[in-house]
């Protein structure tokens, strides 16, 4: 009759695994560690974007608020987002942050397209609110990766 | 447009709490706060469109941004859950380590 449950060899393997992990003194990592450069980069981009949108809310319906006067902002934001994306991609177990940054890049592309069509103050204000939620989500996860700290 | 924020919020929180199970309390405050903000923002966009303060194209644009932000929030909640599971596994490993250290006479070799 076939015996059900743990075979001796499976139980030994499990014990060896647990003891091995304990002996090695290592801790399991299921998600990437905190990355100061991601944290700093996202914070800097949030600050720069916030300042840009606050000013744009006032000027978007004046000549100075035209897209052609702000191409450099979008170019710089693209470079910064690309750098963040490359760094996030290079870190193991970091797919959540990578996807968050992909979505942020998509939002910036949409914002640029909308700027080309023309902004109104109310749309700029809403854009700022939504992007702030997005930035907060990225930073909340990054800070949580510090582990064992109250956040 | 009339969106029942509280009803939707309750549904979202229930769905998220099932996924996170015992680790839900750690993510609850953040999830509730962010879900509420997302729902209020969606309601606000719908209201602006109804009041003809924004065009349909602008409403579509804002909802696209909103969808991306919502996804980012959900990814953070998923990450908080993973971190909680990781902490539980490491706590269990620490118990094994302590037990083995005790069993070999209190030597701190592990």
Shortest CA distance from B37: residue in chain A? A133
pLDDT score of A11: 72
pLDDT score of A70: 98
CA angle A70, A73, A78 (to 5 degrees): 135
Residues of A in contact with B78 (CB under 8 A): 96
If one compares A149 and B4, the residue with the highest pLDDT of the two is: B4
DSSP code for A34 = P
pLDDT score of A150: 47
Non-local (6+) Cβ contacts of B102 within 8 A are none
pLDDT score of A21: 58
Task: Select the residue of B30, B69, B79 nearest A134 (Cβ to Cβ).
Answer: B69
Cβ neighbours of A77 (radius 10 Å): 20
pLDDT score of B92: 86
Q: What is the pLDDT of residues A104-126, one digit of tens each?
A: 999 999 999 999 999 999 999 99
Report the mean per-residue pLDDT for chain A: 90
pLDDT score of B85: 87
Task: Please state, for a pLDDT cut of 90, what percent of chain A lies above it.
Answer: 78
Distance of CA B24 to the CA centre of its chain: 9
pLDDT score of A1: 46
Domain ranges of chain B: 31-103
Whether residues B37 and A133 touch (CB distance < 8 A) is answered with yes
CA angle A147, A96, A108 (to 5 degrees): 120
Residues in chain B whose beta carbon is closer than 8 A to a beta carbon of chain A? 30, 34, 37-38, 41, 44-45, 48, 53-54, 57-58, 61-62, 64-66, 68-69, 71-73, 75-76, 78-80, 82-83, 85-87, 89-90, 93, 96-97, 100, 110
Q: What is the pLDDT of residues B39-81, one digit of tens each?
A: 898 899 999 999 999 999 999 999 999 999 999 999 999 999 8
pLDDT band per the 50, 70, 90 thresholds, residue A138: very high
Residues of A in contact with B33 (CB under 8 A): none
Total residues found in chain B within this entry: 110
pLDDT score of B38: 84
Whether residues A30 and B48 touch (CB distance < 8 A) is answered with no
For residue A12, pLDDT beyond 80:
no
- Choose the weakest-confidence range: A2-16, B59-73, B75-89: A2-16
Shortest CA distance from B75: residue in chain A? A96
Q: What is the pLDDT of residues A50-94, one digit of tens each?
A: 999 999 999 999 999 999 999 999 999 999 999 999 999 999 999
pLDDT score of A151: 41
Alpha-carbon distance of A119 to B40, in angstroms, equals 22
Shortest CA distance from B33: residue in chain A? A133
If one compares B100 and A36, the residue with the highest pLDDT of the two is: A36
């Amino acid at each position: 009759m076939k015996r059900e449950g743990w075979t001796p060899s499976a139980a030994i393997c499990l014990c060896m695994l647990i003891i091995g992990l304990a002996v090695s003194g290592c801790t399991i990592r299921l998600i990437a560690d905190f990355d100061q450069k991601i944290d700093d980069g996202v914070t800097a981009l949030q600050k720069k974007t916030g300042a840009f949108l606050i000013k744009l809310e006032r000027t978007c319906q004046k000549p100075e608020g035209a897209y052609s006067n702000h191409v450099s902002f979008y170019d710089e934001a693209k470079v910064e987002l690309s750098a963040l994306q490359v760094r996030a991609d290079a870190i193991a177990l970091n797919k959540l942050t990578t996807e968050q940054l992909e979505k942020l890049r998509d939002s910036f592309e949409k914002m640029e397209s909308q700027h080309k069509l023309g902004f109104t103050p109310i749309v700029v204000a809403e854009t700022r609110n939504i992007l702030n939620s997005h930035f907060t989500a990225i930073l909340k996860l990054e800070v949580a990766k510090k582990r064992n700290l109250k956040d | 447009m009339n969106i029942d924020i509280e009803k939707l919020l309750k549904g979202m929180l229930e769905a998220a709490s099932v996924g996170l199970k015992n680790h839900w309390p750690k993510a609850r405050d953040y999830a509730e706060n962010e879900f509420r903000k997302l729902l209020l923002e969606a309601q606000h966009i719908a209201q602006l469109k109804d009041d003809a303060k924004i065009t349909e194209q602008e409403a579509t644009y804002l909802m696209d941004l909103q969808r991306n932000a919502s996804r980012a929030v959900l990814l953070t909640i998923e990450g908080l859950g993973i971190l909680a599971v990781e902490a539980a596994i490491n706590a269990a490993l620490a118990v094994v380590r302590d037990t083995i250290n005790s069993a070999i006479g209190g030597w701190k070799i592990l």
